[in-house]
C-alpha cells in the first residue's frame, strides 16, 4: 500500500515538473492588468444641435510609471453606415489635480499625448472629448466609437489593447 502511494506521489511530482517546464502550470501570481482604459458618457441620448461629454480614463494598475500612451478613437462600423448622423469632436480637456486643462490636440487620432504621461502606479488620467451633434443631423441612430491604445512603462514593458468600445449615444428627435 505504501509503495503504491509513493508511486502515485512520485508520478504527480513528475507530472507537475513537466507541466511547469512547458508553461502549462498555473502562475504563482499574476501581474495586474497594467493599464485599463474605460469610457463613460455624460448622457445616453441627445438631440440634433446637442452635445455629449465622452470621458476616457486610463488607470495605471502596474507598479511602474506609464511613460508613453498612444490611442486612436474611431466610429464603429454601424455608426459609419448612417451618413445622416453628423457629429464632430469640438473640445478636449484633461482632468488634473489643479483642474481641467486643454488637451494637446482634439480629434480622433493620437489621443495618447493628451493623458499627460507620466502616470504613477495606482493613479489614473481622464480625458474628456465633447461630441457635438450637428443641428441638421439625422435622428434615431446610435453614435459609438472604438479605441486601440498602446502604453509604455518605466520598466521597459509595454501593453496594447483594443478594441475598447465606448457607450453609444442615441440621437433623438423631439
Cβ burial, residue 139 (10 Å; 0-12/13-18/19+): middle
How many residues can be counted in the chain? 174
Mean pLDDT, rounded, for 100-104? 78
pTM: 0.73
Q: Where are the domains of the chain?
A: 1-30, 37-171
| Per-residue pLDDT at 13 | 44
CB-CB contact of 38 with 167 (8 Å): no
Count of Cβ atoms closer than 10 Å to residue 128 Cβ: 19
Dump pLDDT digits (tens) for 24-64.
444 444 455 656 889 999 999 999 999 999 998 989 888 99
Dump pLDDT digits (tens) for 87-100.
988 888 888 777 78
Dump pLDDT digits (tens) for 65-92.
998 888 888 899 999 999 999 998 888 8
Tracing cell 499627460 back to the chain, one arrives at 116
| Per-residue pLDDT at 31 | 53
Q: What percent of the chain has pLDDT over 70?
A: 73
Q: d(Cα 30, Cα 14) in Å, to the nearest integer?
A: 24
Fold type of domain 37-171: Immunoglobulin-like (2.60.40)
Amino acid at each position: 500500500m505504501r509503495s503504491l502511494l509513493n508511486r502515485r506521489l512520485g508520478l504527480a511530482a513528475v507530472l507537475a515538473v513537466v507541466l511547469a517546464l512547458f508553461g502549462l502550470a498555473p502562475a504563482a501570481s499574476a501581474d495586474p492588468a497594467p493599464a485599463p482604459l474605460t469610457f463613460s458618457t455624460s448622457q445616453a441620448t441627445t438631440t440634433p444641435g446637442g452635445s455629449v461629454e465622452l470621458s476616457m480614463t486610463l488607470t495605471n494598475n502596474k507598479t511602474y510609471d506609464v511613460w508613453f500612451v498612444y490611442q486612436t478613437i474611431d466610429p464603429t462600423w454601424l455608426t459609419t453606415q448612417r451618413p445622416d448622423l453628423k457629429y464632430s469632436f469640438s473640445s478636449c480637456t484633461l482632468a488634473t489635480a489643479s483642474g481641467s486643462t486643454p488637451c494637446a490636440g482634439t480629434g480622433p487620432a493620437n489621443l495618447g499625448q493628451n493623458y499627460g504621461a507620466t502616470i504613477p502606479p495606482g493613479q489614473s488620467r481622464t480625458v474628456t472629448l465633447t461630441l457635438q451633434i450637428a443641428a441638421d443631423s439625422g435622428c434615431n441612430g446610435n453614435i459609438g466609437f472604438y479605441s486601440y491604445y498602446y502604453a509604455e512603462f518605466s520598466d521597459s514593458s509595454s501593453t496594447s489593447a483594443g478594441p475598447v468600445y465606448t457607450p453609444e449615444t442615441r440621437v433623438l428627435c423631439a
